[in-house]
């Protein structure tokens, strides 16, 4: 295979939502771009899974909601439609083998558990208010919060196992990682930056309110269609070089000369690319981040039969294989789809799955269907299809959203998004608002596009880099003085 | 370059101390072996740095001490000699700008700080006693301890900043990582498995008591010399395949057919090799471990001038660039060498270095020499040589000893060492005793060698694998019942 050589104003590495958004904004500003993508498709961590008969379900990021202005504006601009996540009917709450059905968003809890949930929420939101969302490492208690996990805080502060279960199930899904691995400070930043705890975990008026008609993968697809041959697939980037005049991005199928590059990948995957002279903070961040270990499991039925029973398909449970279940049927309800999330190494509340469930797709399927049967009755045992999306087996993506373990945010601060000369960074992991969501991918791509456009009139070492150094020098001086 | 094809009873991936020990033990049992190494040298994370005039200093693991029976026996077997780390004279303790000189192992602390240190040590060792060293995830409080960092525990339990400083400096060196990133459970296991806190941090009667004459790199070199052409350098392994009959290890210069393979690498680096059907626990462990961010800095003087001042070259300080300093001169004192350790992203006690120190070797050198001048006087400003060993810039090794962040030990348990069919694992990260030390590398290699020899009469799915599954199944059942 011969390697072509192209020139453009800017080159973007990664044709996910973030990279394509950056490319679209630059093209819209009259600049020439080339987007280089390792895999054979666009979309990154959004993908439509084919259910048959023209129906899809979403293997990756899929929800949008109020407050997520960047992605909502982009969806509108792309002339895509949204529809509401199905919520009509009762939800199921199951704990200790007892099933309760309820209307609205709050499960039927005892006054004690409700009070516990309230005190946890008040504490979390009070702490979150003291976290600067763009610089969480500057919170007064940043070091203490970044040196424990959210699970450790929850174990120490919850009065009841039941409130702990509910928060754990809800937040494990949004974190894509075991809460006993993820930093408390990261959790507080996310609560602060996504409109509060209720907004994070709720459907109606929350971050899971709406879906894209035709699937979230259409966002990237429409942007790629508009860019046409400027999106090069099947072309893993192997090296990025830069000098005073520009960058050279080398990939399997094309080498691109440009003024600047936007790397729109999870920092956990950037280590695949040879880049000389990365700052230590950036290099270590890339090494120490890893993709989230969450998978999505889907059972597809010829009809959303639970709706006829007055159920909306939602469940919040202590069942290991179905902690949180939600109706993921297409807007017309032509088939019924139930979705759950599982972590690769165990759920978030003290559970370790047998290796059979972790490593054997058939055993996993059986365990999931058994849980659904417990929740929705014998009809759930007989799906017309079963699908999984395990992001830990992708060739070019090492997991779903990367979640920072303790210490990373305070040690590496803004290395995720600080430009390195002519190299800029996008991807939802670099977003300030709604990090980990589709909205974060879009806003990060737009921020990176603004950076490179501003860079044309600025020196190649971005201002934010110098600002970081200045702050660190101040910290060192203070620490030495106090030492 | 053509790829040769060889057959052997066993193939070992990695010619570090652990892999070569495994190969030596197998060869000693009359088996044929091939050792395949990616880099152009043997030794892994041991390496001699040339100081000139036949003098070396050790860039990697270097110390051995009482209780480290595996490495001491191997050194003896290889007819290498050891000598005592230099301790004659006074040590320096510097805090808040005040220097004190003292004899023995305990700095001159106030009664309150001594009491604080004692209460911390008593608590740590009491907790450590409840941790089964071979299965720390079974400790009754394992989940609580594995969901917070050691730094978080220390901040919550130390009465005085001074005791905190001393423990932090001492344990950051042995952990090769910021204590606000590493799991409390991991720390307790290390205390339990290496003979207690004093043993870990002390020189005399401790883990830093002795060094190898000629440098620790001779351990690997002597073993490689004995194996001769069965050690293949410059040959990165790209893929490991296995079937019912054996394994095929593919590498740049040689493909090897064998009955079993021992992969003797940090789990953090195994992801470079394509291995089909790794269990989820193993795959995720490999992704989520990363090499430690510690570097060694050396100042070389024409004479160990501090000895003439009655100093032994040791210092424990709150100076960011010289928290722990030790005399690393050759046994004959023909030149003087002072050694310190720095983390790549900041020291362990609340400090963030300016990017200049992290990214500019000249600035780092100047900061180090300035700190040494503060400690040892103006002579320290004029070394005849300055050397660094930064393990984060090696082509085939992603850092020094990997330290587990919170959640890994309880989620992935013994995935570090559980065989996967005909694939066995060595490397100091897989050791039960003295993990992270040279001794752990040796004992892990010997354990892996025993496994493959035992495997000849056993089915290819090792017993420990089944045991793990059985335990996990029990846990699942218990969790569901309690749920």
**Mean pLDDT (whole number) for A335-363:** 74
Chain A interface test: which of B138, B142, B149, B412 (most A C-beta within 10 Å)? B149
Instruction: Examine the pLDDT at B207 and tell me if it is beyond 60.
Output: yes
Alpha-carbon distances, residue B108 vs A159, A482, B93 (angstroms): 44, 20, 8
pLDDT at B426 over 80: yes
How big is chain A by its Cα radius of gyration, in Å? 23
pLDDT for A168 equals 87
How far apart, in whole angstroms, are the C-alpha atoms of residue B249 and residue B260?
Answer: 10
Assess if residue A31 is contained within a domain: yes
Binning pLDDT at 50, 70 and 90, where does residue A475 land? very low
DSSP, collapsed to helix, strand or coil, labels residue B175 as helix
Q: Give domain status of residue A332, yes or no.
A: no
Q: Which of A348, A337, A325 is nearest to A403 (CA)?
A: A348
pLDDT in tens, B254-306: 999 999 999 999 999 999 999 998 998 899 899 889 888 888 999 999 999 99
Q: Residue B32 burial by CB count (10 A; 0-12/13-18/19+): exposed, middle or buried? A: middle
β-pair partners for B93: B100, B316
Same domain, B374 and B302: yes
Distance from CA of B419 to the nearest CA of A (A): 14
Helix axes B17-28, B438-455, angle to 10 degrees: 40
List Cβ<8 Å contacts ≥24 apart for A52-57: A52/A385, A53/A334, A53/A335, A55/A330, A55/A334, A55/A335, A56/A214, A56/A215, A56/A217, A56/A330, A57/A215, A57/A298, A57/A300, A57/A328, A57/A337, A57/A339, A57/A387
- Domain membership of residue A390 (yes or no) is no
pLDDT confidence of residue A354 = 73
pLDDT class for A172, splitting at 50, 70, 90?
Answer: confident
pLDDT in tens, A328-338: 999 999 999 99
Question: Between chains, do A178 and B411 touch, taking CB under 8 Å as contact?
Answer: yes
Nearest to B180 among A143, A181, A346 (CB): A143
Are the beta carbons of B344 and A410 separated by less than 8 Å?
A: no
Cβ of A405 and B410 within 8 Å?
Answer: no
Question: 3-class SS at B13?
Answer: strand
**3-class SS at B38?**
coil
Report chain A's mean pLDDT, rounded to a whole number: 90
B36 and B120 assigned to the same domain: no
Percent of chain A with pLDDT over 70: 92
Contact B11, B249 (CB under 8 A): yes
Q: Which residue of B has its CA nearest to A319?
A: B480
Identify which has the larger pLDDT, A478 or A76: A76
User: Cβ B280–A355 below 8 Å, yes or no?
Assistant: yes
Q: Which of A178, A201, A224 is the last residue of a domain?
A: A201
Contact B406 A180 (CB under 8 A): yes
Answer yes or no: is pLDDT of B468 > 50.
no
Cβ–Cβ below 8 Å for A279 and B406 = no
pLDDT at B175: 79
Cross-chain residue pair A147–B143, CB shorter than 8 Å: no
Task: Using pLDDT thresholds of 50, 70 and 90, give the confidence band for residue B360.
Answer: confident
B482 domain-assigned: no
CA B411 to each of CA A184, A186, A254, B138: distance values in angstroms, whole numbers, following the listed order:
18, 20, 42, 11
d(CA A443, CA B482): 43
What pLDDT, on the 0 to 100 scale, is given for residue B392?
83
Q: How many domains does chain B have?
A: 3
Q: Do A319 and B480 touch (CB under 8 A)?
A: yes
Residues 6 or more apart from B244 whose CB is under 8 A from it?
A: B460
B90 is a domain residue: yes
Which range (A217-226, A351-360, B31-40, B96-105) has the least confidence? A351-360
Q: How far is CA A199 from CA A151, A184, A444, in A?
A: 20, 18, 21
- A-chain CB neighbours of B398 within 8 Å are 287
The residue among A167, A201, A235 that closes a domain is: A201
Classify the complex by whether its ipTM is higher than 0.85, answering yes or no. yes
User: Are residues A226 and A276 both part of a single domain?
Assistant: yes
- What CATH number does the domain containing B197 carry? 1.10.405.10
Helix (H, G, I), strand (E, B) or coil at A89: coil
Residue B77 lies in a domain: no
Over the stretch A112-153, which tens digit does the pLDDT of each residue have?
999 999 999 999 999 999 999 999 999 999 999 999 999 999
**How far is the C-alpha of A105 from the C-alpha of A205, rounded, in Å?**
11
Q: How far are the Cα atoms of A281, B20, B278, B316 from residue B261, in angstroms, in the given order?
A: 36, 13, 14, 44
- pLDDT attached to residue A196: 86
The C-alpha of B292 sits at a distance from chain A's nearest C-alpha, in angstroms, of: 10
Lowest mean pLDDT among B37-51, B135-149, B192-206: B192-206
Answer yes or no: is pLDDT of B463 > 70: no
Per-residue confidence (pLDDT) for residue A473, from 0 to 100 = 34
- What's the burial of B255, exposed, middle or buried (CB within 10 Å: 0-12/13-18/19+)? buried
Whether residues A188 and A145 share a domain: the answer is: yes
Kindly tell me if the per-residue pLDDT of B212 is higher than 60: yes
Confidence of residue A1 (pLDDT cuts 50, 70, 90): low
What's the pLDDT score for residue A477? 35
CB contact under 8 A, B352 and A480: no
Q: Which of B388, B407, B481 to mutate to test the interface with A (most CBs of A within 10 A)?
A: B407
Provide the token pair at B213.
């004459």
- pLDDT score of B381: 98
Residue A317 lies in a domain: no
Q: Looking at the predicted structure, is the pLDDT value of residue A483 above 60?
A: no
What are φ and ψ of residue A84, in 5° steps?
-80, 135
Among A194-208, A234-248, B459-473, top mean pLDDT goes to A234-248
Q: Choose among B283, B472, B483: nearest Cβ to A353.
A: B472
Listed residue (B46, B18, B23) closest to B33, CA to CA: B23
Confidence tier at A347 by pLDDT (50, 70, 90): very low
Are B405 and A405 a contacting pair at CB < 8 A?
A: yes
| Least confident piece of the model among A297-311, A349-363, A384-398, B171-185 | A349-363
CA distance to partner chain A, nearest, from residue B285 (Å): 10
CA distance A191 to chain B (A): 20
Task: Specify the range with the lowest mean pLDDT, choosing from A168-177, A374-383, A448-457, B332-341.
Answer: A168-177
The answer to whether the annotation marks B18 as part of a ligand binding site is yes
Residue B467: the pLDDT is 36
* CA neighbours closer than 13 Å in the CB half-sphere of residue A93: 16
For residue A162, the chain B residue with the least C-alpha distance is: B483
Phi, psi torsion values for A480, nearest 5 degrees: -65, -40
Same domain? B393 vs B304: yes
> Does the structure show a pLDDT above 70 at B462?
no
- Mean of all residue pLDDT scores within chain B: 90
pLDDT at B169: 85
Domain termination residue (choose one: B169, B201, B233): B201
Which pLDDT band, with edges at 50, 70 and 90, does A106 fall under?
confident
Count of CB atoms situated within 10 Å of the CB of B48: 21
A154 and A184 in one domain? Answer: yes
Q: What is the pLDDT of residue B344?
A: 55
Torsion sign (Cα): B52, B54, B59, B62: negative
CATH, residue A461: 3.50.50.60
Q: Look at A412 and B95 and tell me if their CB atoms are within 8 Å.
A: no
The whole-number average pLDDT for the span B312-331 is 93
Q: Annotation-wise, does B237 bind a ligand? A: yes
B282 contact residues in A (CB cutoff 8 A): none
Reported as a pLDDT band with limits 50, 70 and 90, residue A10 is: very high
d(CA B183, CA B150): 6
Structural domain span for residue A420: 4-46+216-290+402-477
Q: Which residues contact A126 (CB under 8 A, 6 or more apart)?
A: none
Contact yes or no for B351 and A479 at CB 8 A: yes
Q: Tell me the shortest Cα–Cα distance from B90 to chain A, in angstroms.
A: 23
Q: Give me A330's structure tokens.
A: 């297409």
Contact B279 A355 (CB under 8 A): yes
Are residues A196 and A224 both part of a single domain? no
DSSP annotation of B279 reads: -
Q: pLDDT at position B258, please?
A: 98
Give how far A192 is from chain B: nearest CA, Å.
Answer: 22
Nearest chain B Cα distance for residue A223, angstroms: 32
Residues of B in contact with A465 (CB under 8 A): 355
Kindly state the percentage of chain B with pLDDT values over 70: 92
* pLDDT higher than 90, residue A270: yes
Q: In this predicted structure, which of A122-136, A165-179, B20-34, B451-465 has the lowest mean pLDDT? A: B451-465
Cα dihedral: A356, A358, A364, A370 (round 10): 80
Number of H helices and number of E strands within chain A? 17, 21
Q: Which of residues B432 and B194 earns the better pLDDT score?
A: B432
Q: What is the pLDDT of residue B482?
A: 34
Cβ contact B148–A149 (<8 Å): yes
In this structure, the answer to whether residues B122 and B254 fall within a common structural domain is no
**Domain match, B420 and B278 both:** yes
Same domain, B162 and B41: no
Identify the residue with better confidence: B292 or A340.
Answer: A340
Output the known binding site of A for FAD: 18, 37-38, 237, 429
**Which of B149, B284, B407 lies at the smallest CB-CB distance from A392?**
B284
Could you give the count of Cα atoms lying within 13 Å of B303 in the half-sphere of its Cβ?
Answer: 6
Local confidence band at B87 (pLDDT 50, 70, 90 cut-offs) = very high
Q: What is the pLDDT of residue B458?
A: 56
- Nearest-neighbour CA in chain B from A202: distance (Å): 23
Question: What is the C-alpha to C-alpha distance for residues A141 and A135, in angstroms, rounded to an integer?
Answer: 13
Provide, as residue numbers in chain B, all residues whose Cβ is less than 8 Å from the Cβ of A344: 280, 283-284
Give the H/E segment covering residue A449: helix A438-455
Partners of A284 on chain B (C-beta within 8 Å) are 293, 344-345, 392
B2-17 residue pLDDT tens:
789 999 999 999 999 9
State the pLDDT at residue A457: 65
Q: How far is residue A94's CA from residue A98's CA, in Å, rounded to a whole number?
A: 5
Q: What is the per-residue pLDDT for A174? A: 79
Q: What is the mean pLDDT of residues B154-166?
A: 94
* pLDDT band with cut points at 50, 70 and 90 for residue A392: confident
Degrees (nearest 5) of the Cα angle B140, B143, B144? 90
Q: Are residues A180 and A252 in the same domain?
A: no
Do B90 and B207 fall within a single domain?
A: yes
| Domain-embedded: residue A275 | yes
Q: What is residue A352's predicted lDDT score, i.e. its pLDDT?
A: 59
Q: Would you state the pLDDT for residue A348?
A: 45
Mean pLDDT of B145-163: 95
Residues of chain B in contact with residue A152, where contact means CB-CB under 8 angstroms, are 144, 147-148, 152, 406
Beta bridge partners of B294: B343
């Amino acid at each position: 295979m011969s390697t072509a050589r192209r020139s453009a104003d800017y080159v973007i590495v990664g044709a996910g939502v973030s990279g394509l958004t950056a490319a679209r904004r630059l093209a819209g500003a009259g600049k020439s771009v080339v987007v280089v993508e390792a895999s054979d498709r666009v979309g990154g961590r959004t993908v439509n899974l084919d259910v048959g008969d023209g129906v899809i379900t979403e293997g990756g990021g899929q929800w949008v909601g109020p407050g997520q202005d960047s992605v909502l504006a982009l969806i509108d601009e792309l002339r895509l439609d949204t529809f509401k996540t199905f919520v009509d009917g009762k939800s199921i709450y199951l704990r200790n083998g007892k099933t309760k059905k309820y209307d609205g968003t709050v499960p039927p809890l005892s006054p004690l558990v409700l009070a516990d949930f309230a005190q946890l929420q008040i504490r979390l939101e009070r702490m979150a208010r003291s976290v600067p969302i763009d610089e969480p490492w500057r919170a007064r208690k940043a070091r203490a919060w970044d040196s424990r996990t959210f699970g450790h805080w929850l174990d120490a502060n919850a009065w009841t196992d039941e409130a702990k279960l509910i928060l754990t199930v809800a937040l494990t899904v949004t974190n894509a990682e075991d809460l006993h691995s993820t930093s408390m400070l990261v959790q507080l930043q996310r609560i602060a930056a996504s409109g509060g705890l209720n907004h994070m975990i709720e459907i109606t008026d929350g971050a899971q309110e709406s879906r894209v008609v035709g699937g979230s993968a259409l966002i990237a697809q429409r942007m790629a269609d508009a860019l046409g041959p400027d999106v090069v697939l099947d072309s893993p980037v192997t090296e990025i070089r830069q000098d005073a005049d520009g960058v050279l991005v080398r990939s399997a199928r094309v080498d691109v000369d440009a003024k600047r590059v936007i790397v729109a990948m999870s920092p956990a995957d950037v280590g695949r690319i040879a880049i000389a002279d990365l700052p230590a903070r950036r290099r270590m961040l890339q090494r120490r981040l890893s993709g989230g270990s969450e998978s999505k499991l889907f059972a597809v039925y010829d009809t959303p039969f639970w709706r006829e029973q007055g159920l909306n398909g939602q469940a919040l449970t202590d069942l290991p294989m179905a902690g949180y279940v939600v109706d993921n049927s297409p807007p017309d309800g032509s088939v019924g789809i139930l979705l759950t999330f599982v972590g690769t190494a165990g759920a978030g509340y003290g559970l370790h799955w047998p290796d059979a469930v972790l490593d054997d797709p058939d055993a996993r399927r059986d365990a999931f269907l058994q849980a659904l049967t417990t929740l929705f009755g014998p009809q759930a045992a007989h799906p017309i299809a079963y699908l999984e999306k395990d992001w830990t087996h992708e060739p070019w993506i090492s997991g779903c959203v990367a979640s920072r373990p303790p210490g990373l945010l305070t040690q590496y601060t803004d290395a995720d998004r600080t430009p390195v000369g002519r190299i800029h960074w996008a991807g939802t992991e670099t977003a300030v608002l709604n990090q980990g969501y589709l909205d974060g991918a879009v806003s990060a791509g737009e921020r990176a596009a603004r950076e490179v456009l501003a860079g044309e009139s600025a020196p190649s070492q971005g201002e934010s880099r110098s600002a970081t150094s200045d702050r660190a020098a101040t910290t060192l001086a203070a620490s030495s003085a106090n030492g």
